[in-house]
């Protein structure tokens, strides 16, 4: 258990024997110190089998590596969306589709829109099924 000093904000372990000897009674200790509970911040990663894993910030050694490759999500919903995108890319690749590029344009109302180009066996694709929509609703 941790304690926080009410005046200074110092945080210490409650089992610190030297600190406990400074006070004669528990009431005296409680005048200066209060219970301190750290709030654990969590994040989500995608496991190698596609299962979402909830991790505690600062507990796992791979946290920075996950951030560097984009496998770090603040919410479960963000991680679920990323899994959908990965699965959609995999389905396209399995069907022989090859990403050939993209083009950005500005609409009349000033908003930015984009076109994504895929080809399969040198034949342009006319449309993409609804289950591929996660690929085209996000950042990239």
Quick one: pLDDT band at residue 140, thresholds 50, 70, 90?
Answer: very low
Domain locations along the chain: 2-36, 40-74, 89-140
The pLDDT tens digits for 33-91 are: 888 776 668 899 999 888 999 988 877 778 888 999 999 999 999 999 999 988 888 88
pLDDT greater than 50 at residue 138: no
Q: Which residue has the higher pLDDT, 66 or 93?
A: 66
Q: How far is CA 36 from CA 5, 9, 23, 28, 133, in A?
A: 9, 10, 18, 17, 46
Say whether 63 sits in a helix, a strand or coil: helix
Q: How far is CA 34 from CA 15, 38, 43, in A?
A: 14, 13, 28
pLDDT tens for each residue of 17-35: 666 677 777 788 888 888 8
Report whether pLDDT(12) > 90.
Answer: no
Return the pLDDT at 124. 47
């Amino acid at each position: 258990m941790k304690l926080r000093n009410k005046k200074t904000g110092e945080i210490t372990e409650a089992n610190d024997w030297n600190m406990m000897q400074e006070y004669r009674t528990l009431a005296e200790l409680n005048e200066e110190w209060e219970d301190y509970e750290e709030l654990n911040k969590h994040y989500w990663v995608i496991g190698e089998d596609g299962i979402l894993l909830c991790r505690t910030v600062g507990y796992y050694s791979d946290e920075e590596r996950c951030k560097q490759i984009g496998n770090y999500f603040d919410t479960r919903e963000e991680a679920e969306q990323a899994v959908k995108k990965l699965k959609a890319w995999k389905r396209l690749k399995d069907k022989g589709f090859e990403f050939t590029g993209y083009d950005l344009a500005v609409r009349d109302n000033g908003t930015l829109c984009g076109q994504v180009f895929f080809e399969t066996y040198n034949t342009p694709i006319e449309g993409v099924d609804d289950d591929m929509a996660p690929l085209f609703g996000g950042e990239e």
